[in-house]
Amino acid sequence: MSDESSDANLGLERLIFFSDAVMAIAITLLAVDLRVPEIAREVAAAELPRQLVEMAPKITSFVISFVIIGIYWIAHHRNFGYIKRYDTRLILLNLLFLLFIATLPFITGLLGEYSYLALPNMLYAFFAACIGLAVFAIWRYASHNHRLVDEQISADLIRAVNVRGLVGPLVFLLSMPFALINPLYTQIVWWLVPLSAWLVTRLVARKAKQMEH
């Protein structure tokens, strides 16, 4: 399918735009699961605060998913900053990424409703890992032998982005067995993702700066 490979900017822009639109819709739809509680008018004043507090697991899983889509949007945004061409296989890998993104609101709803069970926590960690692995696969495919990326990108940078892309999925996969001990533990492990992403980004940044000098 290499015949479709082209440096046509418009085509690549449209691919990026389509991905951004799907991510924007998914990130906004997350909140649709936060349903307004229905309470009779007579008891609403007393009941509403209690029911809002009971929504805590739903609100938590909404915020977690928002952060995750946000982080993967940044990663997608960064990686596509280096990608200069596209072909059909890249489109297909990107569609796989969008399939996981589009499924996340459902998985988030499941987690919000049944956060006290092991299964939704494991399922959520698995899907979050899949999103990250899809981002990783896009980068790996595009950067291998400078297939679709800028020629001037160093092999070191390509490797660094590869490593960075594996951190998130790894943490998510490692968090899965914790759900069997206590579902809450899983979610605590997840907060390592932004932390480790930030750490690895710093390291990559330092390396990139060293390479420039």
Q: Does 180 bind a copy of itself (CB under 8 A)?
A: no
With CB under 8 A as the contact rule, which of the stretches 133-141, 146-154, 159-167, 199-207 interacts with a copy of itself? 199-207
The residue among 112 and 169 lying less far from a copy of itself, judged by its C-beta, is 112
Return the residue of 89, 114, 126, 140 that touches a copy of itself, per CB under 8 A: 114
Q: Does 30 bind a copy of itself (CB under 8 A)?
A: yes
Q: Does 153 bind a copy of itself (CB under 8 A)?
A: no
Q: Does 184 bind a copy of itself (CB under 8 A)?
A: no
Q: Does 49 bind a copy of itself (CB under 8 A)?
A: yes
Give which of 96, 90, 102 is closest to 139, Cα–Cα.
90
Q: Does 140 bind a copy of itself (CB under 8 A)?
A: no
Write out the two tokens for 32. 């649709």
First to last CA, the chain: 39
Q: What is the DSSP string of the chain?
A: -GGG-B--HHHHHHHHHHHHHHHHHHHHHGGGGSPPP---TTTHHHHHHHHHHHTHHHHHHHHHHHHHHHHHHHHHHHHHHHB--B-HHHHHHHHHHHHHHHHHHHHHHHHHHSTTSHHHHHHHHHHHHHHHHHHHHHHHHHHGGGSSB-TT--HHHHHHHHHHHHHHHHHHHHHTTHHHH-HHHHHHHHTHHHHHHHHHHHHHHHHHHHHH-
Q: Does 203 bind a copy of itself (CB under 8 A)?
A: no
Q: Does 70 bind a copy of itself (CB under 8 A)?
A: yes
Q: Does 137 bind a copy of itself (CB under 8 A)?
A: no
Q: Does 174 bind a copy of itself (CB under 8 A)?
A: no
Where on the chain is the footprint of a copy of itself (CB under 8 A)? 1, 3-4, 8, 10-11, 13-18, 20-36, 38-39, 41, 44-45, 48-49, 52, 62-63, 66, 70, 73-74, 77-78, 81, 88, 91, 95, 98-99, 101-103, 105-106, 109-110, 112-114, 116-117, 119-120, 201-202, 205, 208-209
